[in-house]
Structure 1
């Protein structure tokens, strides 16, 4: 991160930002990656189920952000390379030995810029340039190419991709299924009272705050009192550097105050068979007993 970015004040963010149609989708990719990296149980358990579906060995779920299409993409690619080892292997789902992922990152980025034409990627992973994340096991160092779409209709399968992460549809089944047409394992993330609802509420607060020039928006923009409270937290810190504000507000999150309870979740396996697994779901924030 450049020094100027480290000291940019929060009140400057609305003037530096250039809104785009794909902003929500890009932020969703970052949010999924961050949730896995932080160990957000509502997300990691779903991702873990999808990895088991793809027969990825190991239990400790990890995420590496690829992001070849994003601003500062070279820095992201360099960071991804640093997180991988020379033994990091990509499981493509095809027969044969897994390829070593680190040596193909640059080729995947080059293939993205050419939209897949004339790339130097092995045939078995020729579609890897479409990946947003590499999900896998930190413990065994096996990874799979993953596409993340906030709009499920935008999912597109390709060689080198194994999993598609999308929001679960409200009121519909959120089972992990194999999409034979796209050749992807579809992993819907939980909505009501969980990760996706939190993401959209946060998106509403942040975009309204930026549209109000880093001030508390009008009540019509944020009618829920809780959302206005979060916007007020931000506005109170508008004269401080962005990175410092993020760190300061992080201490207010207190994820340890969430309690979980085991429940059964159905997973549809290849061939139409189903399997019931035990998982833990966040129920509600409760105060710890002193």
Structure 2
């Protein structure tokens, strides 16, 4: 259990600068104790890969040209066996799939991603309680991406935090304008200056509890990460020789959130990307052992080949059943500070709880 005392807050520059924790005297008040509990151990390789292959297939499907999808009867009717025949590889495809994978990982409670993003959200003064990701995909480089509906997540009071002085703009009413701003540069001038670059967002990351959201850029190539008015977080893979800490990049105006590689999320993502590439090159069948020598990779392809006659969207849903279940759960408990023993005046308690054992 980690306890942040008021005396420690006064000594911490990051607390003073970003206001992550309150520093007022709270004795006698109600304090919320937030516990994050790991529900399941990190799964074996097959389950871990399965959980990432689904989002990658979604990314490949939505990277198809609009006219090609229309000829096939629409995205919902494209069968898995047709995907290799309709798909034409492009430079930005892995980036699109990376966006989908990060989005799904966060909404599935994958601790390898959520713990890093939670740290970034704290920089933005959002307490990561009931966190969610909204995929804001729009037409990019001739590819069609899904615009995930936000109506069941956002409310009329949902706001996007732009890091500027003043009332944060409401998000729900501006989604259509943001989509239009991507296609028509003249529309961007109609956006408030504080969020004029928000149309560049790939995700909106936020808290269901507070309905505070931040525009998030997701780049597989860290060199392509750019700041813009309204964007607050940049998610990238870690790079050798560059700090892997969640940190503020004052030049870009972004909180940089690197995702780890070795034995972590980025390694699983690249392995899943190679599996999907090999499966597609083998005409939606199990590739030769010389191409995928690992039994784990071929097992994923076997699962896919069995479903090659089904639409891709149905296969992706089926993959969720076999993938890693939700990893994290959050409990919030009210505690009176006057009941806390000792001389330290406590304002925040963070208590990570390991997975329950039998």
Could you say whether these structures have the same fold, taking a TM-score greater than 0.5 normalized by the shorter chain as the test?
yes
| Residue 90 of structure 1, aligned match among 160, 172, 179 | 160
Q: Assess if the C-alpha contact under 8 Å between 1:170 and 1:192 holds in 2.
A: no
Counterpart for residue 123 of structure 2 = 53
Counterpart for residue 244 of structure 2 = 174
| Residue 107 of structure 2, aligned match among 18, 34, 37 | 37
Structure 1 residue 36 displacement after superposition: 1.0
Q: Assess if the C-alpha contact under 8 Å between 1:145 and 1:163 holds in 2.
A: yes
Counterpart for residue 213 of structure 1 = 283
| Residue 22 of structure 1, aligned match among 63, 72, 92 | 92
Q: Assess if the C-alpha contact under 8 Å between 2:214 and 2:233 holds in 1.
A: yes
Which whole-Å CA distance do the structure 2 matches of 1:93 and 1:278 have between them? 28
Counterpart for residue 147 of structure 2 = 76
**1:227-249 residue CA offsets vs partner (Å, 9 max, x unmatched):** 12211221232223323333333
Q: Assess if the C-alpha contact under 8 Å between 2:121 and 2:128 holds in 1.
A: no
Counterpart for residue 200 of structure 1 = 270
| Residue 112 of structure 1, aligned match among 182, 207, 211 | 182
Which whole-Å CA distance do the structure 1 matches of 2:354 and 2:248 have between them? 23
Determine if the alignment matches structure 1 residue 155 to structure 2 residue 225. yes
Structure 1 unaligned blocks of 5 or more: 260-276, 283-287
Counterpart for residue 235 of structure 1 = 305
TM-score normalized with structure 2 length: 0.67
**1:126-176 residue CA offsets vs partner (Å, 9 max, x unmatched):** 111111111111111000111110000000001101110011225753210
**1:168-206 residue CA offsets vs partner (Å, 9 max, x unmatched):** 225753210111111110001121111111111110000
Residues 217, 250 of structure 1: alpha-carbon distance in 2 compared, 3 angstrom cutoff: same
SS of the residue corresponding to residue 96 of structure 1 reads coil
1:122-141 equivalences under 5 Å are: 122-141=192-211
| Residue 321 of structure 2, aligned match among 246, 251, 254 | 251
Higher relative contact order (CA 8 A, sep 6+): 2
Determine if the alignment matches structure 1 residue 103 to structure 2 residue 159. no
Q: Assess if the C-alpha contact under 8 Å between 1:222 and 1:228 holds in 2.
A: yes
Counterpart for residue 274 of structure 1 = none
Determine if the alignment matches structure 1 residue 184 to structure 2 residue 250. no
Structure 1 residue 58 displacement after superposition: 4.8
Q: Assess if the C-alpha contact under 8 Å between 1:81 and 1:105 holds in 2.
A: no
Which whole-Å CA distance do the structure 2 matches of 1:118 and 1:241 have between them? 37
Which whole-Å CA distance do the structure 2 matches of 1:156 and 1:254 have between them? 32
What's the Cα RMSD here? 2.8
Which whole-Å CA distance do the structure 1 matches of 2:313 and 2:138 have between them? 23
